[in-house]
Amino acid sequence: MQTNAAFSHEIAIVTGGSRGIGLAIARSLGRLGARVALCATTAQSAERGARTLEAEGISALGLAADVGDATSVRRFAAAVHQTLGDTSILVNNAGVGVFHPAQEIEEAEWDRVLDTNLKGAWLMSREIVPQMIRQKRGHIIHIASLAGKNTFAGGAAYCASKWGLRGLAGCMAEDLRGHGIRVSVVCPGTVHTEFSPHAGKDPNRMLQPSDVAHVVEMLVLQAPQSFVSEVDLRPTQKP
């Protein structure tokens, strides 16, 4: 496997990294030469994802964390730092969805979606940003959704989390650009993953996880004097 020599010193964290979009992103960063730490809800899933990448010649570490819990995130970040060193790339990809009319959503469901999709990105960023400030460089990429711009029936919790994630990304970009840290948000349309069944849609017309990973790769390879703040990603043909 050929790698980018300039990326051999990069350490990347990908949340929700054991499958789907997250695993594709981790694979792409690993092929560039980065050492990758995968975060998943269970150790079994995280380790399975890491083994998959290691079989492809990618240096990978798989650890469990609940991104919505500050203590769990702190332990995860500390373990990655102790094992690999300062993180220079953070991809906040972990996400869940509950799709009911707003008046029918249970409080626990609402909390789960917002804690994972929005609070989790903030908690993980809060732990990693000091490492990037020390290095005077870094990339933080939030994986949002076109649902963060477009509403739909039953999408109250999910849309709220993704709209909020876009707001978080924009504010972080302003907070951190003076430290050489670039913050971007990626808003994909429908992606063919296990996340939801997408009943009635042609998977061959949907975005693939590798499409999102390609955008992340583009962002981290951007010339140092500029950054892309937001990317909307759509399939060529509507599913």
79: phi then psi, degrees, rounded to nearest 5: -65, -40
> Residue 59 in contact with residue 35, Cβ under 8 Å?
yes
- Write down the residue that tokens 């063919």 correspond to: 192
Q: Write the Ramachandran bin of 16: left for phi over 0, alpha for psi from -120 to 50, otherwise beta.
A: left
Catalytic residue of the set 7, 76, 122, 158: 158
Tell me whether residue 24 is exposed, middle or buried, using C-beta atoms within 10 angstroms of its C-beta: 0 to 12, 13 to 18, 19 or more: buried
Answer yes or no: 149 catalytic.
no
Written as one string, the DSSP assignment of 48-111 is HHHHHHHTTT--EEEEE--TT-HHHHHHHHHHHHHHH-S--EEEE-------B-GGG--HHHHH
> Residue 14 in contact with residue 86, Cβ under 8 Å?
no
Q: Which of the residues are catalytic? A: 158
